[in-house]
Structure 1
Amino acid sequence: MRKYETVYVFNAKGDSYKNGLEAVKKIYEKNNATISKEEDMQERSLAYEVQKQDRGHYHLIEADIEPSVVIEIEKDLKLTKELLKYLFVVKG
């Protein structure tokens, strides 16, 4: 297992953040990833429009994930409609 840090940007409108975060946690659970830290980074302006949105709700998750599973997690994340962007980083 490796420690990964991921920042998610969810659509800021309506219940998109809550529903999107729930979907992300289910994806982690399905792939046997263990979340060690979470931080709600609140709603912020985006540097540029993403999917016609100029604001996003940011959320940070640190988790222990098997490296071979990261690709599967990313495939599932691409199907999450509430998610605007995400970035996985290996935490040293």
Structure 2
Amino acid sequence: MLNQYETVFICTPVLSEPQVKEAVKKFKELIAENGGEMIHEEDWGMKKLAYPIQKKSTGFYHLFEFKADPSFISKYETEFRRDERVIRFMTVKLDKYAIEYSNKRKKLQKAKTEQEG
């Protein structure tokens, strides 16, 4: 039984754009290799942190929404802890209300992009 999860992680600001993309690709591939299914991905870009982390005040934010086996999450989070490019991460299991909210949010984003384009 696959559960739906959402992970937001912050990469250190000293990385170049290709290095951030490489880190994102690594975690995306990790999900796929372990039988997970990527649902949605967002690149929020460089943002100011609410408080300094490791003496840094900004970071590259990225969001993954995916389905995976519950046993995979501990392995997934271990990889985040080992990767020096990631300064913070958080994975949450989405319940039916969070999934519904996420779908509404994606629809609104899509409508907004279509209006601009």
How far is 1:36 from its partner?
0.7
Which residue, 49, 55, 75 being the options, matches 1:52? 55
Residues 49-87 of structure 1 deviation map (CA, whole Å, 9 limit, x = unaligned): 112211011111000010111111111111111111111
SS at match of 2:84: coil
Separation in structure 2 between the aligned mates of residue 23 and residue 75 of structure 1, nearest angstrom: 13
How far is 1:26 from its partner?
2.8
Q: Gaps (5+ residues) in structure 2?
A: 96-117
Runs of 4 or more above 6 Å deviation = none
Which residue, 31, 35, 43 being the options, matches 1:32? 35
Residues 10-53 of structure 1 deviation map (CA, whole Å, 9 limit, x = unaligned): 11223242232122123223322211100111111111111221
Aligned length: 92
TM-score by length of 1: 0.89
1:13-92 map, 5 Å: 13-15=14-16, 16-92=19-95
SS at match of 1:81: coil
Report which of the two has the higher share of strand.
1
Residue 9 of structure 2: aligned partner: 8
Separation in structure 1 between the aligned mates of residue 46 and residue 55 of structure 2, nearest angstrom: 16
Report which of the two has the higher share of helix.
2
Percent identical across equivalent pairs?
A: 26
SS at match of 2:82: coil
